[in-house]
Structure 1
Amino acid sequence: MQFASKEEERYYYEQVASQKEFLTWYKRQDLPNYPKPSVAVDIITLRYNRELKKVEVLLVQRNKNPWRNKWALVGGFLQPYEDLKEAGIRKIKEETNLALKKEQFKLLSPWSSPKRDPRGWVISCPLLVELSPKDETVDLSAEAHKYHYHWYALAELSEVDFASDHGQILSYALETLTTRLQTQGLSAMEQLLGVFTMKDLQVILEQLLNKKIHYSNLKRTFQDQLELAAPPRLKKHVGRTPAYFKVKK
């Protein structure tokens, strides 16, 4: 089909032609004119280490460029026509052998600085995952990757040499979690808490909020959000078993 001008051609395909005709034209004519960023997921994986009484985040030490020997969030590039949470499920499974579900991933705002990655234009879409007690023992022996993994306590993160902007992404994710905690209550970290004692709750809040929490105020502050729960199976417990709670639905 011949057109007198580019404007006439565009008008025809956008406002007269069928959608099938438009898409054929668009992929040939317009689509190549738009630079394409790569899209990656970076996964903030949190757990509460009940033995050490610490909130921890999973990091991996890169063994190749870029950022060789620096510490990064678990993640990677999307495959064609894969949605963000599907990519998160795949990368966690590949790198830790942990099988998670879509509802365990919370999508955070993307990081889109065009110079954040020396390989090119890469947009990072952070995903926050709170491991429940049944998931918190992660198998880090996946054969597909020979990276060095480590669970870092929140108090240790200031000493970590991060890859790219991953330290900033992690700080942003923790700030988002604490903001949701203040606006949504304990439901914002229901997975992380699992079944817990009031002492567990005190420790987790102190480490997330980075401030002292008075134990005596906890139950009164959160009493409307708690319900009694059966104690988990304990390896060994000396003395009286404390009361256990879960977040009320």
Structure 2
Amino acid sequence: MITLKGISKSFQRKLVLDDIHLTVQPHDICCLLGKNGAGKSTLINIIARLISQDKGEVLIKGQVFDNNKILIKEKIGLVSQFDYLIEQLTGYQYLEFSGLLYKMAPADIKERINSLSLFFFENTTDIHQLIKGYSSGMRMKLNIMAALLHKPDILLLDEPFANLDPVTCHKLAGFLQEFAAAPGKLVLISSHDLLYVDKIATRLCVLHDKKVAFDGDKESFTNGGAKDLDKQLLELINPAGINTASLNWLT
């Protein structure tokens, strides 16, 4: 379980998150939604301890993260907007290196890399190519594989569908549903891809004007499916609608 209590964060005196409270339970696929700059990535990075909050507390399974950093990091798989891939290595070497950092047994590392490669890469030779030659989609696949390698209980995914082809997006969505259904597992994901959010989300958290504008199950947000997810989201974060008057010179 992830519990956020009164999280606030500013960058260069600009307030980005203001008193955020959120709880993500086991089996949840909780999707963070909002405009660019709403604080979705910032919130994920705070939970993963890539950055620190100014105020508030982060608890993972009831434990304060700062008091149990190593133990808690072992429970988290992270895909962030920061790309930490080492381009001089092959995909296989990078995953092998990642597994050793988690003190995994070499035999387990090899078995899991092979399993992940078969699922995410159509061409099994791709994993043995240098990362510097990877496309943006292949880099995302490798980041996801690295997040899964150590068998985490919690997945924190920042725009994981970005740059992935439709087949991989479909496979990833199905996998995330199976992952969240397993005992003790949960997923917190930020995404602008409302097609896949609609497919997999069990809960939604909408960030708007530095606050939580909605926090609840998807059924409540869409009135039991009677209203489209995208329309409901736009009504909440952009009630004024779209005005193209300033672009009349283009037409």
TM-score by length of 1: 0.26
Higher relative contact order (CA closer than 8 Å, sequence separation 6+):
2
- Rg (Cα) greater in structure: 1
TM-score by length of 2: 0.26
